[in-house]
Structure 1
Amino acid sequence: MKYILYLLILVLGFSCQQEKSEKVAKIAVKKEPIVKEYGFIFNDFTVVQDTLESGDTFSTILEGYTLPDSLKLFDITEKVKDSFNIKNIRAGKEFITFSDKKNKKNLKAFVYVQDKTSYLVVDLRDSIKVEIKKRPTILKRRTIAAELDGSLSETLSRNGVSAALANELAQIYKYSIDFFKLKKGDKFAVTIQEKYFENGEYLGVDKVEASYFEYKGKKIYAFPYKLNENQKRVEYYDEKASGAKSMFLKAPLDYFKLTSKFTARRFHPVQFKWKAHNGTDYAAPHGTPIKTTASGVVEATGYTSGNGNFVKVKHNSKYSTQYLHMSKILVRRGQSVTQGQIIGKVGSTGLATGPHVCYRFWKNGVQVDPLRMKLPSSEPMTKKQKEKYLATIAPLKKELDDTTAKTFKE
């Protein structure tokens, strides 16, 4: 019995010792995590991550290392110049050096981080290779619905969305919503694409796909859309295909003093006689930029003794506008212009007593007063364009409405 007990103790002791040995072995073979960034596996190099200080240059950083055989500092800097202006290296920016695992001074590669998304790579392993690369990003899509509680930016932040989206939404709705009059409890929903680095770092909103705001008891939708492939910028339209912005700006100047309105009888300050004034005068300092109030094609430019330097823009088959007394014309006949584009500068050429622009407006070939007209919200879509647009936004609108109903249990 004693022998059996002794044998059992030996077996248990050996088993425990073996288990400890296996644990030690497992700990011993545990590998360090693989770190891969900027196109390099950090584990394969001696890596130094540092920040540029005042006075640092590309050359002074490399002078502290041994370069691969046959490579000279001059050759490297000349190669870099072909892709990147090394004078743009700035203090405070991050840089990374990759050198030999055994010989820490033997430089293999250099990375200069320009900003969050782009970086310069100088690879010296085989020959001199210089590239400007982008950190890979991913897009994630989601729809949120919320009630205003505080400012729009604060409400977005509480929902985990970049507060910068508030400014973008304000621009989208600037023709239809006074954001200073939004109040607590007003609802909104937005479908967005958000950008992230592969490591999960949030970079903000990349794109707005659809949105609505509840304003004065009404839902105001906005969907970005291009009517044709040649259109450079998207425009925003509602659920009925009406434009979110006005087709015409209220005035051709940002800052002005309205000095003379459209009237059938006005005493002309230069000719000293009563006559019709078929335009609206906006006084402003000499050289003030003049903007076209709507997109279109420049129909005419030139000079007459009465109008001075002028530009006339045809917007469509119904509407045209003209801008008189310019000091300088900045467009040419036949040129396409977009709403808000600067087409000239305020002057006092022609029959004018001081610097101003006389703004003239035609509807169906007849001069009218734009201040008294109900102008269209935007260029209307054709029947075919409208059908395609409505089919495109249908799933986006449903997604907004479904998210809203679920969030507020409507």
Structure 2
Amino acid sequence: MIRRLPKFHLTAIAVVCITSLLVLFWPADDSGTSTAAGPDSKIVKPLTLDLDKAKSNQYVGQPTQDPADVVRAHAAMGQDMSGVTEHFIEIKRGDTVSHIFDRLHIPPRTLMELLVADEEHLQLGNVQPGQSIKATLDDDNKLTQLILNIDIANQLTFKLEDGNYVADLYTNPGKWSQRAVSGEIRGSFEASARKGGVKRSSVAHITKLLENRLKFKNLRAGDKFYMVVNEQRINGDDVYQEEVLGVVIKSRNNTYSAFINQDGSYYDEKGQGLTKAYRKSPINGRYRISSHFNLNRKHPVTGKVRPHYGTDWATPIGTSVYSIGDGVVERVANHPLAGKYLVIKHGRKYTTRYLHLSKILVRKGQRVSMGEKVAKTGNTGRSTGAHLHYEFHINGRQVNPLKVKLPYSASVPKSQMASFKQSVKSMKQEMGI
């Protein structure tokens, strides 16, 4: 059979056999250990020791490394050996915190504890696409910290402290700067103002302010407008929010104006009111107050001491709720604890919140007038009975709605008139008129 193999294969077999014989019978190297053949002999690999390295303690006498030092060394190289894990999740359409926690194997009880800690801010129960969450879990998969990045200006952090979650909202103040805008009417007032870089919401605000004095559809080409806006930028980015400080519109026959006062209301340049200021209550009629504003109140459901940031009126379900002043709807949402709720921003200074509603009659971004019906009372969320929970915030801080001092007059208060006129003069100079 071997004779039938190709000549090339026969040559290769011969070379392998000769090489094997040479390896077996090659004489031993004199510098190594003796390898005399015999049934009891062992092949021993020579062991050499560098005496210089031995003396320098590179081979012997090295101390055992502390395990803590190993952990610290790995941490310095970016390797976490503590069992702590961090998860970064970008919120997408259809996502809820409950679904995200299920994926991370965080128990539902933890979410409920976070929602209780979030009663002041009401953010976690209504996450939006584009927001993000960073969750930190210990080696037992317990949530120790949660960071919700709401937008470029706001970040809400929950930390586990002494067995309870504590919420802290950080708001980047950014940088505010005033800017004068002017132009001629070409087409509509909205299109002309937008061409000057004014936000759509500000245009709608001006239209609402002057709607009782000026019919904007009657403006003609060549009519002029002047305004001063206050713009907030975060980290030098695009305008985050904008506030109208003053506006003057000159038509062929009349001049219309609106300037903000320190009380948050707008008046014409003579100090006469443009709006009806504020209502004292968001509901009509006399209803029993079932719970007052109290920062040390014991919660009726949990029994724990938790601040009560508003005033509760016991009302039948379906009672009409009215906006206490002109403003823009900032949020419409449904929260596990607050139920259906509504947030209205009244200028830069004031914000109101209406909780546990049965029905909301406005949409986010809509401008509302003082006294406009915006919702109906209910018993949604965590509630012990039908009622309206009403909050009033000044510069982001909760105050007692029944004790807050608001402007109810139709003109600038006498004590503020001098400073108002000085402000108007300054803004008109900035406008160039």
Normalising by structure 1, report the TM-score.
0.43
The structure with the largest alpha-carbon Rg is 2
State TM-score, norm by structure 2: 0.41
